[in-house]
Amino acid sequence: MNLKIVAAILTGIVLLSSCEYQKYNKAIQKDVRAGSQWVYGVHPDSAARQLSFKYEEKPELELKANELRTKLYGDPKVYLK
């Protein structure tokens, strides 16, 4: 009886591992930005041009982000004690 259960489990494992899991679980879409240096860079190993763009720092946005973090997660000083 025990041998039948083990054999059934092993057979199930072999059958499940032999199938190509999620072989057809793909969404093939046309890439509207294919070949764009702005998004993909000049070469597949190079960085995109948009990464070289630097934004000016705005300290008021950092203060607002900290206020929102405190509102959402509470005061972090309470947890660091």
Domain count, the chain: 1
Mean pLDDT in runs of 10 for the chain (81 residues)? Answer: 89 78 77 81 75 82 91 78 61
**Which pTM was predicted?**
0.33
The CA distance from 23 to 45, in Å, is: 28
Residue 34 lies in a domain: no
Q: Which domain holds residue 72?
A: 54-81
Give the single-character DSSP code of 81. -
Phi, psi of 31 (to 5 degrees): -85, 110
Residue 37 lies in a domain: no
Q: What is the DSSP string of 16-77?
A: HHHS-TTTT-------TTTT-HHHH-SSTTSPPGGGG--PPP-HHHHHHHHHHHHHHH--HH
What is the reported pLDDT for 61? 92
What is the reported pLDDT for 80? 67
What is the reported pLDDT for 52? 72
Residue 75 lies in a domain: yes
Residue 46 lies in a domain: no
Residue 24 lies in a domain: no
